Amino acid sequence: MSRTALSKPMQQAFADGLLEQSTVFDYGCGRGDDLRTLAALGVEASGWDPGHSPDSEKQSAAVVNLGYVVNVIEDRSERDQALRSAWALAESVLVVSARLVWDPDSTSGRPFGDGRITANGTFQKYYNPEELKGWVESVLGRTAITASPGIVYVFRDPGAAQQLLARHSRESSRPRRGIAELLHDQHRDLLDPIEGFVNEHRKLPSPTDLDDPKAVVDLFGSIRGAFNIVRQSTGAQLWNDVD
């Protein structure tokens, strides 16, 4: 799966302030979409994936993301080991996420073990939120904090969760700046020409319309991905007629 924005677990970690002045390791990074967006946000990030980046080194980091990995491992002992391996790399907090039982695909395919075999032959284990939290706690022997349904945090320092809750309480009256707004501000040199072109022509520019299309693609994955940042940060209603 390819994205032009952060995955839900990393969006949650960003919103909770866990990525501020932190290093991130993505355990099961897929095609590296989160790594690219984190780099654009100025976050030092690296990753490993058995399919897409098997030769990358597994590294410790302040924040380790185990994003939608455990639900695709059919062997329960291997699932437990993946969780333990990711936890061993987490210096501050481990972020664990999984698909949930109310996912639209949770009843598709056929039953297999404690999950299902999908139409394309892959395994998926769907959790209910309490099951995910309980499993993480039982394997790691640590208290897990539910950040949102299907996303839990495990902190090295037990007091860190209380500090997070206290900070949220103090900041609850202040609106949080979104990821798209930050990216828009940090990379106006690349995004302003795209915004100007679309505003004038009501269509996306081609690579030849931009001074540095390679930089745009390197940061945002595609010209459309870059424009999605513009759309999100300025208001989608301004661009309803742009495909």
> For residue 171, is pLDDT > 60?
no
> For residue 172, is pLDDT > 80?
no
**Nearest of 43, 26, 161 to residue 96 by alpha carbon:** 26
Could you give the 3-state DSSP secondary structure of residue 80? helix
- Of 72-86, 168-182, 216-230, which has the strongest mean pLDDT? 72-86
Looking at residue 239, what DSSP letter applies?
Answer: G
To which H or E segment does residue 151 belong?
A: strand 151-155
Cα 11 from Cα 95, distance rounded (Å): 11
What pLDDT does residue 219 have? Answer: 76
- The answer to whether 71 and 86 are in contact (CB under 8 A) is no
Mean pLDDT of 164-183: 58
Tokens for 242, please give them. 């742009």
- The answer to whether 84 and 90 are in contact (CB under 8 A) is no
pLDDT tens digits, one per residue of 3-17: 457 898 998 898 888
> By mean pLDDT, which of 40-54, 96-110, 192-206, 216-230 is the weakest?
216-230
Cα 161 from Cα 158, distance rounded (Å): 6
Confidence class for position 173, pLDDT limits 50, 70, 90: very low
What pLDDT does residue 1 have? Answer: 43
pLDDT tens digits, one per residue of 109-154: 898 988 899 888 889 999 988 899 999 999 999 988 888 888 999 9
